[in-house]
């Protein structure tokens, strides 16, 4: 019987043909936890009777959510992670390494066809690599650390086809995924896999594919997977394609070539409109970074708009490169210098102000335009601020003008 990509990857790992609705126990090819989730995972692992992790080469700890530590409590949790990694002789990516998801991809810790479990809700990002990746909580992760396995219900899949070759000027994968979030809503893909297909997807870089999979978390999905057409990687891999007659719970077709720049307005990522409907809304804080849009091409898109110019008076702009590798590349090609000269503040590679822990909490009544993935009330640490989500290009031009503005092609 025909299978989706999720059904194929899970079947291959379990050794029997699985279809949506089946329960399975599968070996996990990699797992990771961050400073938000690792301390609890380590605690649960020890309470389960764990002494050594099942496979230290498949276990990664990343300090990214509040890095460097903003207070003594978090400093102690970071030390707990460092001690555990030393004890296990396993990988620890310390402050400055970057955001967990970017670090895993940069260091090739997840590959096409893998099953990966991350104790962070944006773990489906790795579906850009044609892998099956899920977010889990700390105790589920502890069980993976202990057993090397996880139990899963094989998800139904939603097929999203993005037609069209050429995107509109100023449009990137963020605008496309905001349209998908709008159509599916914040709960429309609950328990399901969002499988991306189409000409517009096949033309996207790995970085842009990561944007599409990152925000399946904002659709409630279990995972998101990109069909491998056009995927280019610096190593050989076996692609997993869906069968032509695979069964989907829903098929969504979008003319990507007709999509205009999008914005999610407060307080939900599915509250999506065209940027042009919100033009003129004053903003005082612009943020580019995160696992959604903190990669080199994102910073370059902002730099192209800001080169030789100054952000508006009364606006502060914060940029957090997604990883050390992104920061180094951006330094080499002059992107970082361009952004600093335009008035941006570069902060440490990591999650930065996205989760409201530190490094740029907005004040009462402020409006923030952000390239992140969530604008829930209180998300950036202050329930009295408003968060608008858009592409790096829209964030950059809005910082330049001091109000929400449509990006213009350079």
Partner 1 sequence: MPLAHVYGHNIDTDRIIPGKYTKTLDLTSLAAHVMEDLDPGFHQKFKVGDIIVAGDNFGCGSSREQAPIALKTAGVAVVIAHYFARIFFRNAINIGLPVLEIPNHTIQNGDQLHIDLSNGIVTNITQNISYNATKLPKVMLDIMEEGGLVNYLKKHKDYILA
Q: Check binding of 183 to partner 1 (CB under 8 A).
A: no
In the bound complex, what is the minimum distance in angstroms from residue 362's beta carbon to partner 1? Answer: 13
Contact 10, 24 (CB under 8 A): yes
Q: Check binding of 137 to partner 1 (CB under 8 A).
A: yes
In the bound complex, what is the minimum distance in angstroms from residue 65's beta carbon to partner 1? Answer: 7
Of 324 and 374, which has the nearer Cβ to partner 1? 374
Applying CB under 8 A, which part among 101-109, 184-192, 282-290, 315-323 lies near partner 1?
A: 184-192
Residue 88's alpha-carbon distances to 36, 44, 58, 97, 148, in angstroms, are 20, 16, 12, 20, 15
Applying CB under 8 A, which part among 119-127, 195-203, 226-234, 401-409 lies near partner 1?
A: 119-127
Which one, of 114, 5, 121, 8, lies nearest residue 58 by Cα? 114
Per DSSP, 405 falls in state -
Question: What character string, x for contact with partner 1 (CB under 8 A) and - otherwise, covers 260-289?
Answer: --------x---------------------
Can you tell me the distance from the alpha carbon of 328 to that of 45, in angstroms, rounded to the nearest whole number? Answer: 36
In the bound complex, what is the minimum distance in angstroms from residue 367's beta carbon to partner 1? Answer: 18
Residue 159's alpha-carbon distances to 165, 177, 246, in angstroms, are 18, 14, 10
CB neighbour list of residue 71: distance below 8 Å, 6 or more residues apart: none
Report residue 197: phi and psi, to 5°. Answer: -135, 170
Of 42 and 296, which has the nearer Cβ to partner 1? 42
Applying CB under 8 A, which part among 42-50, 103-111, 285-293, 309-317 lies near partner 1?
A: 42-50
Question: What character string, x for contact with partner 1 (CB under 8 A) and - otherwise, covers 334-363?
Answer: ---------------------xxx------
User: Which token pair is 115?
Assistant: 């099953």
Of 268 and 300, which has the nearer Cβ to partner 1? 268
CB neighbour list of residue 259: distance below 8 Å, 6 or more residues apart: 167, 168, 171, 175, 176, 179
User: How many residues in the shown chain lie near partner 1 by CB under 8 A?
Assistant: 55
CB neighbour list of residue 408: distance below 8 Å, 6 or more residues apart: 169, 170, 305, 397
Per DSSP, 225 falls in state E
Of 208 and 367, which has the nearer Cβ to partner 1? 367
Q: Check binding of 370 to partner 1 (CB under 8 A).
A: no
Contact 38, 79 (CB under 8 A): no
CA atoms within 13 A on the CB side of 157: 28
Positions in 139-178 near partner 1 (CB under 8 A): 139-140, 142-143, 146-147, 149-151, 153
Of 186 and 279, which has the nearer Cβ to partner 1? 186
In the bound complex, what is the minimum distance in angstroms from residue 304's beta carbon to partner 1? Answer: 32
Q: Which residues bind partner 1 (CB under 8 A)?
A: 23-25, 35-37, 39-40, 43-44, 47-49, 65-66, 73-74, 77, 80, 119-121, 123, 135-140, 142-143, 146-147, 149-151, 153, 186-187, 190-191, 217, 220, 222, 268, 355-357, 374, 376-379, 381, 383
């Amino acid at each position: 019987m025909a299978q989706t990509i999720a059904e194929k990857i899970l079947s291959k790992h379990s050794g029997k043909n699985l279809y949506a609705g089946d329960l399975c126990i599968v070996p996990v090819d990699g797992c990771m936890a961050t400073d938000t989730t690792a301390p609890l995972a380590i605690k649960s692992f020890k309470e389960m009777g764990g002494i050594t992790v099942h496979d230290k080469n498949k276990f990664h700890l990343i300090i990214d959510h509040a890095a460097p530590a903003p207070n003594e409590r978090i400093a102690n949790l970071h030390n707990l992670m460092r001690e555990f990694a030393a004890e296990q002789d396993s990988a620890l990516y310390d402050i400055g390494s970057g955001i967990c998801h970017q670090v895993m991809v940069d260091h090739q810790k997840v590959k096409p066809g893998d099953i990966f479990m991350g104790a962070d809700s944006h773990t489906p990002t790795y579906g850009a690599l044609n892998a099956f990746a899920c977010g889990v909580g700390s105790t589920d992760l502890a069980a993976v650390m202990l057993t090397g396995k996880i139990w899963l219900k094989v998800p139904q899949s939603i097929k999203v086809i993005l037609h069209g070759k050429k995107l509109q000027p100023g449009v990137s994968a963020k605008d496309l995924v905001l349209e998908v979030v709008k159509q599916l809503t914040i709960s429309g893909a609950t328990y399901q896999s969002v499988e991306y297909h189409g000409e517009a997807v096949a033309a996207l870089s790995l970085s842009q594919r990561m944007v599409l999979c990152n925000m399946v978390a904002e659709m409630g999905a279990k995972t998101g997977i990109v069909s491998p057409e056009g995927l280019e990687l610096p190593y050989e891999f076996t692609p997993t394609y869906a069968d032509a007659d695979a069964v989907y719970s829903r098929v969504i077709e979008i003319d990507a070539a007709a999509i205009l720049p999008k914005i999610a307005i407060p307080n939900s990522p599915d509250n999506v409109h065209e940027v042009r409907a919100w033009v003129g809304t004053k903003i005082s804080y612009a943020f580019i970074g995160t696992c959604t849009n903190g990669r080199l091409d994102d910073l370059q898109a902002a730099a192209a708009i800001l080169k030789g110019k100054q952000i508006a008076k009364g606006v502060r702009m914060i940029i957090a490169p997604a990883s050390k590798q992104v920061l180094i590349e951006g330094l080499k090609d002059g992107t970082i210098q361009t952004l600093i000269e335009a008035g941006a503040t570069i902060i440490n590679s990591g999650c930065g102000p996205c989760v409201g822990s530190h490094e740029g909490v907005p004040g009462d009544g402020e409006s923030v335009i952000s390239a992140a993935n969530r604008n829930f009330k209180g998300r950036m640490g202050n329930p009295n601020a408003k968060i608008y989500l858009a592409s790096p290009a829209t964030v950059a031009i809005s910082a330049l003008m001091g109000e929400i503005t449509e990006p213009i092609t350079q």
